[in-house]
Copies of this chain bind each other. A is one copy, B any other.
Amino acid sequence: MPDIVNKVKDKVEQVFKNLEPHKGEDSSKDDSATTQSPKDNLNGPSEPQTKPSDKPSGGEQNQEEHGDEDQEGPTKSAMKKKKKEEEKAQKKAEKAAKAKEAEQARQQAEEPDYAAAHYGKLPLHQSQSRPNRKRTDIATLSAKNDSEHVLIRARIQTSRLQGNRMVFLNLRQRTDTIQAMLAVTDKQVSKQMVKWAAGLSDESIVIIFGIVVKSPEQIKSCSVDDVEIHVSELWLVAGVEGRLPFSLEDASRSENAPEVEGQFSRVLLDTRLNNRIIDLRTQTNQAIFKLQHAIGDLFREYLNNNGFTEIHSPKLQGAATESGASVFKVGYFKGNAFLAQSPQLAKQMAIAADFERVYEIGPVFRAEDSNTHRHLTEFIGLDLEMTIEEHYHEVKELLDGMFKTIFKGLKESYAKEIAVVGKQFEAEEFKWREETLTLTFKEAVDLLVEDGVEREVLDDINTENEKRLGRLVKAKYDTDYFIIDKFPLELRPFYTMPDPNDPTLTNSYDFFMRGEEILSGAQRIHDPEFLCQQMRAKGVDPESMKGYIDGFRMGCPPHGGGGIGLERVLMLFLKLNNIRRASLFPRDPKRLEP
């Protein structure tokens, strides 16, 4: 058993005893009858809350300023950390005269600290006790809570010392911030306590007790702008080791803000992704991933309401299934396996197995060395497949209904998150029409030709022309969302059902958002012999995909479906401009960490 556990054990109950609400400024804590902890009180001013613990943490980086320098047997790594801390201290010294600070610290060390029991670092949280005290969410606070006592766990986003008697803390929980203030008072808050608070690193996690006070003026720097918290106790839960790779303020700035030399550093995407944990803490990213969750939920809800069954198909495949696209190879005991490039095969097998309507949300893997703004090697596929009764437009219309439900759901229930993201990534609001615009491939080509693109290059519509088409459609129809139907046979995979009247066309469609493809789908060929025939026509040997074809030999109903990239929908709805921003821990040919 590690020493540290025994060491902190005794202190924990003591400190938790002090995590009781207190009324007004009265510093006596003897009303803490609900805890079952020992009666010991916190020790005097030179005791644990201002003494460095065995573990370095952000809260103690400024220990020198506290005039408390005892260190027992520093290890190499401790020395290294010490050096970092010193660098930080040095930086601080540029703001104020160091000599004066040291003098003040000495004075304070000599003064008895009447606030000693109101602040400090908590011992390691090991679930020592459970007083069942209510914690408050910042987002719920407003002027109506004026004068209420609250207990809050939050991060210190920034802090600002005013004179040596007052410190302002900007406290953050996910997408919400509130201002907290510590000011020296006769019995509750001491000068030492204010100093200690000001010395806590940004991004430290603290627990505060305080009282909600209506603010005389709007607090523009915080999302809760009509109240602040007057703090009476402040406890450090977890500090920060070393320096932050970048400040959250820098990481949260509008992408369109002009960079002024020395004013702030633009945080590059690679730097963000290398330090993704910090980057994800920005209000923007908290909002982005709430929206990612929302898209998944809206997708599922719509499909559940339409009689779909969720399936989970294996990502480990015995053979590379779809020809063409590259596939990752996996060592599988004494043989090999391959990572599924899509649940296409499994979805169709589920249809042949009478599931009627299925969807899957899961990772898909693409071993393509594409280093673009919109390619990942692993992304989340929202896939669905359904039987067709009369016409593949049943599928197209269901998909369309699904997208409109998602757009509507985001707009109506997540306006706050969309607005938060919009502050960093400015974008025109995403627009769609009640009646979705559907162009045939031919009509789309005609639009481009009309706009000056040479018809000869439009056998396929490349990425550049896709975007151009998006702009044309936006100008003409005022929508960021539309469908192209009836793609030429030669552009689609062998399993696509040809059009019944024009053998050069297919029963297939793509869906677009802001001029980029987000869904590709079609009616599939459900007849095994015809499937073989089409494979041969596309130069694929049916023998090489026997398992796939056999899936249809036991009778498969007509069916169709589509596949959506979750990250793409999120990126395009919010106009994030790079798909990596829509993936929690993105993977591309050059990135496997973190």
With the chains together, A534 CA to B4 CA distance in Å?
11
Name the CB-closest residue of B to A536.
Answer: B2
Q: In the bound complex, what is the Cα–Cα distance between A45 and B522 (angstroms)?
A: 36
Contact B316 A377 (CB under 8 A): yes
Query: Complex: how many Å from CA A329 to CA B586?
Result: 19
Nearest CB of chain B from residue A246's CB, rounded to whole Å: 11
Binary contact track A242-283/B, C-beta < 8 Å → 1, others 0: 101000000000000000000000000000000011101100
Q: Which residues between 313 and 366 of chain A lie within 8 Å of chain B, taking CB atoms? A: 313-319, 328-333, 337, 339, 346, 349-350, 352-356, 361-363, 365
Min Cβ gap A73→B in Å is: 15
Q: Is the CB of A390 within 8 A of B130?
A: yes
A584 near B346: Cβ-Cβ < 8 Å:
yes
Known: A500-B128, A528-B241. A389 touches B589 (CB 8 A): no
CB distance from A238 to the nearest CB of B (A): 5
Within 8 A of B (CB), among A53-93: 54-56, 58
B557 touches A205 (CB 8 A): yes
Cross-chain contact B553 with A388 (CB below 8 angstroms): no
Complex partner residue of A557 from B153, B242, B317, B554, CB under 8 angstroms: B153
In the assembled complex, A452 has its CB within 8 A of some CB on chain B: no
Tell me whether A555 and B238 are in contact in the complex, defined as CB-CB below 8 angstroms, given that A346-B585, A378-B315, A389-B135 are known contacts: yes
B5 touches A277 (CB 8 A): no
A129, A547, A587 — most chain B CB neighbours (10 Å): A587
Shortest Cβ distance from residue A594 to the other chain B in the assembled complex, whole angstroms: 6
Q: Given the complex of chains A and B, what is the CA–CA distance between A395 and B304 in angstroms?
A: 29
Complex contact B594–A554 (CB within 8 A) = no
Q: Quick check: B4 and A530 within 8 Å, CB to CB?
A: yes
Q: Is A210 an interface residue (CB 8 A)?
A: no
Cα–Cα distance between A128 and B502 once the two chains are bound (Å): 11
The verdict on A238 contacting B526 (CB below 8 Å), with A309-B293, A363-B315, A555-B58 known, is: yes
Q: Are A328 and B330 in contact (CB under 8 A)?
A: yes
- Determine whether A6 belongs to the interface, using a CB cutoff of 8 Å to chain B: yes
Binds B, one of A94-102, A119-127, A191-199: A119-127
In the complex, whether A1 has a CB less than 8 A from a CB of chain B is: yes
Instruction: Compute how far the CA of A12 lies from the CA of B558 in the bound complex, rounded to whole angstroms.
Output: 14
Residues in chain B near residue A557, CB distance under 8 A: 153, 205, 237-238
Q: Is A47 at the interface (CB under 8 A from chain B)?
A: no
CB of A501 within 8 A of chain B?
yes
Chain B's closest residue to A558 (CB) is B125
Q: By the criterion CB–CB under 8 Å, are A349 and B594 in contact?
A: yes
Residues from chain B with Cβ under 8 Å of A516 in the complex: none
**CB-nearest residue of chain B to A326:** B333
CA distance A30 to B131 in the complex (A): 80
CB distance from A458 to the nearest CB of B (A): 21
Instruction: Establish whether residues B1 and A390, one from each chain, have CB atoms under 8 Å apart when the complex forms.
Output: no
Within the complex, the shortest CB–CB distance from A30 to chain B, in Å, comes to 21
B residues in contact with A521, CB < 8 Å: none
The complex places the Cα of A474 from the Cα of B551 at a distance, in Å, of 44
Residues of chain B with a CB closer than 8 A to A563's CB: none
Contact (Cβ within 8 A) B124 A530 = yes
The reply to whether B363 and A566 form a contact with Cβ atoms under 8 Å apart is no
A276 surroundings in chain B (CB, below 8 A): 349, 353
Q: How far does the alpha carbon of A388 sit from the alpha carbon of B153 in the complex, in Å?
A: 11
Q: A278 to B278, alpha carbons, bound, how many Å?
A: 50
Question: Whole-angstrom distance between the alpha carbons of A533 and B75 in the complex?
Answer: 14
What is the CA–CA distance of A155 and B362 in the complex, to the nearest angstrom? 30
State in angstroms the CA–CA spacing of A391 and B129 once bound together.
7
A316 to B586, CA, bound (A): 10
CA distance A204 to B553 in the complex (A): 11
Q: How far is the CA of A238 from the CA of B558 in the complex (A)?
A: 8
**How far, in whole Å, are A361 and B359 apart by their CA atoms in the complex?**
14
Provide the bound-state CA to CA distance between A172 and B586, in Å.
45
Chain B min CB distance to A309 (Å): 5
Q: By the criterion CB–CB under 8 Å, are A527 and B238 in contact?
A: yes
A497:B555 contact, CB within 8 angstroms: no
**8 Å CB interface, A552-573 against B:** 553-558, 566
Whole-angstrom CA separation of A270 from B322 in the bound complex = 26
Within 8 A of B (CB), among A294-315: 296-297, 300, 304, 309-315
Known: A2-B534, A333-B369, A592-B337. A131 touches B277 (CB 8 A): no
Q: Which residues of B contact A131 (CB under 8 A)?
A: 390
Indicate if the CB atoms of A130 and B393 lie closer than 8 Å.
yes
User: How far, in Å, is A123 (CB) from chain B's closest CB?
Assistant: 9
Given A205-B557, A277-B554, 18 further pairs, Cβ under 8 A: A126-B500, A126-B507, A129-B391, A130-B391, A131-B390, A135-B389, A174-B356, A239-B555, A276-B349, A281-B354, A292-B312, A296-B310, A314-B378, A316-B328, A316-B377, A317-B592, A329-B330, A362-B362
Task: Return the 7 tightest CB-CB contacts between A and B, nearest first.
Answer: A1-B503, A318-B592, A280-B353, A125-B558, A130-B391, A126-B500, A241-B553
